[in-house]
């Protein structure tokens, strides 16, 4: 099984339950407040590990405020050999979750934005061709990570979130996997947001012919397009959503870990879809991420076929 290096963010999440998202000029009383370990990077590492991957997390946290983050790393059997402590604050977020389970997020980068190229070189030297490198847009030096990871033969998997047009200046053609939602994908190829998803994924594949793509479509499902293969479509499982905070990170973690364990694309996609369906029925980020056993039991018990010819 390939090793998985996640060079990603770690954030302390302050999660507030609200009736609706706060509006300009409005003071709104929250119905609840919880503090969780999170960040797209940490969420994905937890999902990767719970999905059966051998996971190493690289990144940076504050020396004084990071206990909740380091505890989560240890609890989930994630290797912390390449995790640095800084004399600055850890990254953190303010998350509103409304009564429908939707969220909006305010992000402060903190230590996540302090990664040096020397630390990247030192870390990558411990991994070999065929290992996976997972990236998200919540740390600095993404450009360098993509170039160096690709140069060393790692399978670079980039979740282009949070999306900005500056990401289009990155050497995305060097990535093995690009994980995008329909808004991000449309922006990457200059198409309208309501473009047919099958047209969109073909345009993405044409622009980046050496990349596999996963196009996520929210409650409709997702499409996987591997290099040289036909697109695979997967509907979402119908569940009652409570909190969607870590759904995308859960999906990515189970997808990549499944591939690293040797599953074929369509089975990895179905497994990831089941994992994210379980996650949205629970509150919080890392607390919502299921174990591989839970996901396998979910798939055994369901009678719904989600792999379809077309969404």
Summarised one tens digit per residue, pLDDT across range 16-41 is: 999 999 999 999 999 999 888 988 99
Report helix, strand or coil for 13.
strand
Could you tell me the pLDDT band of residue 246, with boundaries at 50, 70 and 90?
confident
> Out of 13, 87, 249, 309, which one is annotated catalytic?
249
Report how far apart, in Å, the C-alpha atoms of 123 and of each of 84, 95, 120, 149, 152 are: 11, 31, 5, 10, 12
Q: What is the CATH number of the domain that holds 236?
A: 3.40.1190.20
**Number of helices (H) and strands (E), helices first, in the chain?**
9, 14
| pLDDT value of position 286 | 85
Report helix, strand or coil for 188.
helix
- Helices 142-151 and 117-124 pack at an angle, to 10 degrees, of 30
- Mean pLDDT for 45-71 is 97
Q: What is the dihedral of CA 140, 143, 145, 148, to 10 degrees?
A: -150
| pLDDT value of position 1 | 81
Summarised one tens digit per residue, pLDDT across range 117-147 is: 999 999 999 999 999 999 999 999 999 999 9
This prediction has a pTM of 0.92
Give catalytic status of residue 131 as yes or no.
no
Tokens matching residue 149: 């990871």
Read off the DSSP letter of residue 4.
Answer: E
Cα distance between residue 297 and residue 300, in whole Å: 5
**Residue-averaged pLDDT of the chain:** 95
Contacts of 254 (CB under 8 A, 6+ apart): 47, 48, 51, 268, 271, 272, 274, 275, 276, 292, 295
Summarised one tens digit per residue, pLDDT across range 179-231 is: 999 999 999 999 999 999 999 999 999 999 999 999 999 889 999 999 999 99
Domain around 41? 3-308
The total of structural domains in the chain comes to 1
pLDDT surpassing 90 at residue 249: yes
């Amino acid at each position: 099984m390939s090793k998985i290096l996640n060079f990603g963010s770690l954030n302390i999440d302050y999660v507030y339950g609200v009736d609706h998202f706060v509006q300009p000029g409005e003071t709104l009383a929250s119905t609840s407040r919880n503090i969780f370990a999170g960040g797209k990077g940490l969420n994905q590492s937890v999902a990767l590990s719970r999905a059966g991957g051998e996971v190493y997390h690289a990144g940076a946290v504050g020396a004084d405020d990071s206990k909740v983050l380091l505890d989560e790393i240890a609890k989930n059997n994630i290797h912390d050999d390449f995790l640095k402590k800084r004399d600055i604050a850890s990254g953190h977020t303010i998350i509103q979750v409304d009564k429908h389970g939707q969220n909006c997020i305010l992000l402060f980068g903190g230590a996540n934005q302090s990664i040096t190229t020397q630390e990247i070189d030192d870390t990558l030297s411990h991994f070999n061709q065929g290992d996976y490198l997972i990236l998200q847009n919540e740390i600095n030096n993404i450009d360098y990570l993509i170039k160096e990871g690709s140069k060393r033969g790692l399978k670079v998997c980039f979740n282009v979130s949070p999306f900005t047009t500056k990401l289009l200046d990155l050497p995305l053609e060097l990535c093995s996997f690009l994980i995008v939602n329909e808004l991000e994908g449309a922006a990457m190829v200059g198409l309208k947001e309501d473009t047919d998803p099958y047209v969109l994924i073909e345009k993405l594949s044409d622009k980046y012919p050496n990349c596999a793509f996963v196009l996520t479509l929210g409650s409709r499902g997702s499409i996987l397009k591997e290099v040289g293969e036909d697109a695979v479509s997967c509907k979402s499982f119908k569940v009652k959503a409570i909190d969607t905070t870590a759904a995308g990170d859960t999906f990515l973690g189970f997808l990549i870990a499944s591939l690293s364990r040797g599953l074929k694309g369509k089975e990895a996609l179905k497994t990831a879809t089941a994992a994210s369906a379980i996650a949205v029925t629970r509150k919080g980020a890392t607390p919502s991420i299921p174990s591989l056993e839970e996901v396998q039991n979910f798939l055994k018990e369901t009678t719904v076929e989600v792999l379809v010819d077309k969404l």
